[in-house]
Amino acid sequence: MESKKTMLSLAQAFHTKTISFLGAGSVVEAIIGGVLRNELVPASQIYITNRSDQERLQTLSNTFGVQIERDKKALIEKADILVLAIKPKDVAEACQSLRGLVRKDQLVISVIAGVSTDFLREWLGVECAIIRTMPNTSSAIGLSTTGMSRGRFADEEDLATAKHLFEAIGSVYALPEEELDIITGLSGSGPAYIYYMIEAMEKAGVEAGLKPEIARRLTVETVLGAAQMLLTTNAEPALLRKKITSPNGTTQAGIEVLDSFSFQEAVVSAVLRATERSRELGAQFN
Ligand X SMILES: NC(=O)C1=CN([C@@H]2O[C@H](COP(=O)(O)OP(=O)(O)OC[C@H]3O[C@@H](n4cnc5c(N)ncnc54)[C@H](OP(=O)(O)O)[C@@H]3O)[C@@H](O)[C@H]2O)C=CC1
Ligand Y SMILES: O=C(O)[C@@H]1CCC=N1
Return the C-alpha torsion angle 74, 70, 120, 126, nearest 10. Answer: -10
What string marks each residue from 83 to 122 as x (binds ligand Y by CB under 6 A) or -? Answer: ------------------------------x---------
Smallest separation (angstroms) from ligand Y to the CB of 276: 12
E-strand ranges in the chain read: 19-22, 46-49, 67-68, 81-84, 107-110, 129-134, 144-150, 170-174
Closest CA to 51 of 88, 6, 75, 86: 86
- Confirm or deny that 85 is annotated as ligand binding: yes
Nearer to ligand X, 20 or 219 (CB): 20
Segment 247-276, which members bind ligand X (CB under 6 A)?
Answer: none
157 binds, among ligand Y, ligand X, none (CB under 5 to 8 A by kind): none
- Confirm or deny that 86 is annotated as ligand binding: yes
Smallest separation (angstroms) from ligand X to the CB of 84: 8
Q: Exactly one of 170, 188, 205, 282 binds ligand Y (CB under 6 A); which one? A: 188
- What's the DSSP call for residue 108? E
Segment 71-100, which members bind ligand X (CB under 6 A)?
Answer: 85-88, 90, 93-94
- What's the DSSP call for residue 169? G
135 part of the interface to ligand X, by CB under 6 A = yes
Burial bucket for residue 58 (CB in 10 Å: 0-12, 13-18, 19+): exposed
Consecutive H or E run containing 38: none
189 part of the interface to ligand Y, by CB under 6 A = yes
213 SS3 class = helix
Amino acid at 2: E
Closest CA to 129 of 149, 100, 101, 99: 149
Query: What Å distances lie between residue 86 and 2, 82, 94, 200, 283, CA to CA?
Result: 32, 12, 8, 31, 17
> If you compute the radius of gyration of the chain from its CA atoms, what whole number of angstroms results?
21
112 part of the interface to ligand X, by CB under 6 A = yes
> Applying CB under 6 A, which part among 67-75, 78-86, 182-190, 199-207 lies near ligand Y?
182-190
Residue 70: count other Cβ atoms within 10 Å of its Cβ: 12
Nearer to ligand Y, 36 or 162 (CB): 162
- Confirm or deny that 104 is annotated as ligand binding: no
Closest CA to 169 of 134, 195, 221: 134
Report whether 1 contacts 62 (CB < 8 A).
no
> Applying CB under 6 A, which part among 36-44, 110-118, 234-242, 254-262 lies near ligand X?
110-118
Report whether 49 contacts 22 (CB < 8 A).
yes
- Confirm or deny that 87 is annotated as ligand binding: yes
37 part of the interface to ligand X, by CB under 6 A = no
What string marks each residue from 10 to 29 as x (binds ligand X by CB under 6 A) or -? Answer: ------------xxxxxxx-
Nearer to ligand Y, 49 or 189 (CB): 189
Nearer to ligand Y, 107 or 113 (CB): 113
Residue positions forming the annotated binding site for NADP(+): 85-88
Positions that interact with ligand X (CB under 6 A):
22-28, 49-53, 56, 85-88, 90, 93-94, 111-113, 134-137, 188
Positions that interact with ligand Y (CB under 6 A):
113, 184, 188-189
